[in-house]
Structure 1
């Protein structure tokens, strides 16, 4: 398995690599990816779950028990559930979002895809995501998986980052450019 040095060098990258290898060896990549997508969604929707992952005040045993309960209620696969327990025991739940992103990049690379980090002002519909993937595939010449996030401060438009390339079509950037042009 070829990994980029950047992913392996970070703490979250090492955890993501370990989870990826475990999932690959047990032929569970699709299940783990689906479970991690569920966890990412839960982090975005549940303030309590996000607080649990971010708080250094929660004891290891309490965090592990809470994560086990969350895993059961979210119906996560056993590998992901155990992995969350390991993160809790090692006091690394604060790295969960970064681990999920790094895992997504590893899984996409494994499938021969490029990962695009897409930030929009509002959540994108399934049709918009499909159209965006098609446009990015035409531009790059490879399949593209998207890592979506929402930043209301953009006001509108998108910011797409693929590797070192960034495409910023946000209204916020356009307004800042216009303001700078009017000053000079």
Structure 2
């Protein structure tokens, strides 16, 4: 399925879930459930296969997602939403739905999302310090999402909206290599 179509489906489902959660006063609970679900998707190849598999029936996906919701202790709104997504054969869109929901929530709260790539995992203190620095620079609360990219060798690549700051050692070495080519 084309990524534009997935984006449209994800936005539609995220908007519906967001509106329901807002009406029921459970935005924080649903956001916490979705953040936990996002972490599960990142950590478990089996879970990713479950949501992506066209071979599994609606019933099998529904039973699996219901069991997961119960064992994870998800709230009723999140559990029902996941059951609906399974019944409608839309679990494969789940990562995009989660991202769309969290973007909506951040926009409502006036938060800005920063995507940070580092060569090694950031400590809690480093992530907090980075968030404080970004808050000063952008004038609003910044949520920091980190990923580890060992190819960077050192330093950080920070993306906030359309802005990017690349202070990675990899990029600095590439610039040095280009400068050296110009000398010879």
TM-score of the aligned structures, taking structure 1 as reference length: 0.85
Distance 2:54 2:173 in 1: 39
Deviations 1:74-93 (A, max 9, x none): 11111111111222222222
Q: Which residue of 1 aligns with 2:22?
A: 24
Aligned residue-pair number: 177
Q: Does 1:70 align with 2:68?
A: yes
Distance 1:132 1:38 in 2: 23
Q: What's the CA shift for 1:96?
A: 1.5
Match of 2:86 among 88, 98, 113: 88
1:111-130 aligned within 5 A: 111-130=109-128
Mean CA deviation greater in 141-150 or 109-118: 141-150
Mean CA deviation greater in 158-167 or 36-45: 158-167
Local SS of the residue matching 2:74: coil
In structure 2, the gaps of 5 or more residues are none
TM-score of the aligned structures, taking structure 2 as reference length: 0.85
Deviations 1:35-71 (A, max 9, x none): 1111011112222112112222222211111111111
The structure-2 alpha-carbon separation of the partners of 1:122 and 1:66, relative to structure 1 and needing over 3 Å to count, comes to farther
CA contact (8 A) 1:101 1:147 kept: no
The structure-2 alpha-carbon separation of the partners of 1:114 and 1:178, relative to structure 1 and needing over 3 Å to count, comes to same
Q: Which residue of 2 aligns with 1:3?
A: none
Deviations 1:8-29 (A, max 9, x none): x632122211111111110001
Mean CA deviation greater in 108-117 or 119-128: 119-128
The structure-2 alpha-carbon separation of the partners of 1:134 and 1:83, relative to structure 1 and needing over 3 Å to count, comes to same
Q: Does 1:148 align with 2:146?
A: yes
Distance 1:95 1:175 in 2: 38
Local SS of the residue matching 2:117: strand
Distance 2:181 2:58 in 1: 54
Distance 1:102 1:156 in 2: 31
CA contact (8 A) 1:20 1:103 kept: yes
Distance 1:124 1:137 in 2: 18
Local SS of the residue matching 1:147: strand
Q: Which residue of 1 aligns with 2:159?
A: 161
Distance 1:183 1:91 in 2: 54
Bigger CA radius of gyration: 2
